[in-house]
């Protein structure tokens, strides 16, 4: 499972940061996951619950912000955000010359520590 290795990376990053700054416990971790990132939020949560044991994040909750796919069309100039995970043509003019500029992210936004 792709998400298991991603969550290990996340745990690794937050744990290291926590230790560097002298904190003892992670209360929550907030992630941004784009709909076009290929990462499944449910699978992330599931993997997190399993891997957090015996880490500084053992009691932490994982908060996930889902980022819709969005971009700008080069033909009509409109910005758009869509509900789907993928886009084949501009929702306004149906042109295929668009640029996706959000929805591919998978990143840590913030964490709450003690
Ligand atoms: Zn367009």
Look up residue 8 and give its DSSP letter.
H
Number of domains in the chain: 1
Indicate the pLDDT class of residue 1, thresholds 50, 70 and 90: low
State in Å: Cα 85 to ligand 1 middle: 18
State in Å: Cα 47 to ligand 1 middle: 39
**Domain membership flag for residue 73:** no
**Domain membership flag for residue 81:** no
State in Å: Cα 36 to ligand 1 middle: 19
Where would I find the H helices in the chain? 2-20, 41-51
**Domain membership flag for residue 19:** yes
State in Å: Cα 80 to ligand 1 middle: 9
Question: What average pLDDT score do residues 42-53 get?
Answer: 96
What is the extent of the structural domain holding 56? 2-68+103-113
State in Å: Cα 32 to ligand 1 middle: 27
Indicate the pLDDT class of residue 79, thresholds 50, 70 and 90: very high
Indicate the pLDDT class of residue 86, thresholds 50, 70 and 90: confident
**How far is the CA of 41 from the CAs of 30, 54, 100, in angstroms?**
12, 22, 21
* pLDDT tens by residue, 19-38: 999 999 999 999 999 999 99
Partnered with residue 69 across adjacent β-strands are: 82
Q: Distance between CA atoms of 99 and 91, rounded to whole angstroms?
A: 12
> Percentage of the chain surpassing pLDDT 90?
95
Nearest to 33 by CA among 21, 48, 19: 48
| CATH for 60 | 3.30.2320.50
Q: Which helix (H) or strand (E) holds 30?
A: strand 26-34
State in Å: Cα 70 to ligand 1 middle: 12
State in Å: Cα 108 to ligand 1 middle: 32
Predicted TM-score (pTM) of the model is: 0.87
State in Å: Cα 91 to ligand 1 middle: 7
């Amino acid at each position: 499972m792709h998400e298991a290795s991603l969550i290990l990376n996340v745990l690794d990053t937050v744990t290291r940061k926590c230790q560097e700054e002298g904190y003892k416990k992670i209360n929550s971790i907030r992630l941004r996951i784009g709909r076009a990132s290929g990462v499944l939020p449910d699978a992330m949560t599931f993997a997190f619950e399993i891997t957090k044991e015996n880490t500084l994040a053992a009691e932490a909750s994982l908060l996930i912000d889902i980022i819709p796919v969005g971009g700008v069309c080069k033909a009509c100039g409109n910005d758009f955000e869509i509900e789907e995970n993928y886009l084949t043509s501009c929702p306004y003019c149906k042109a295929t010359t668009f640029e996706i500029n959000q929805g591919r992210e998978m990143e840590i936004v913030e964490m709450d520590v003690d």
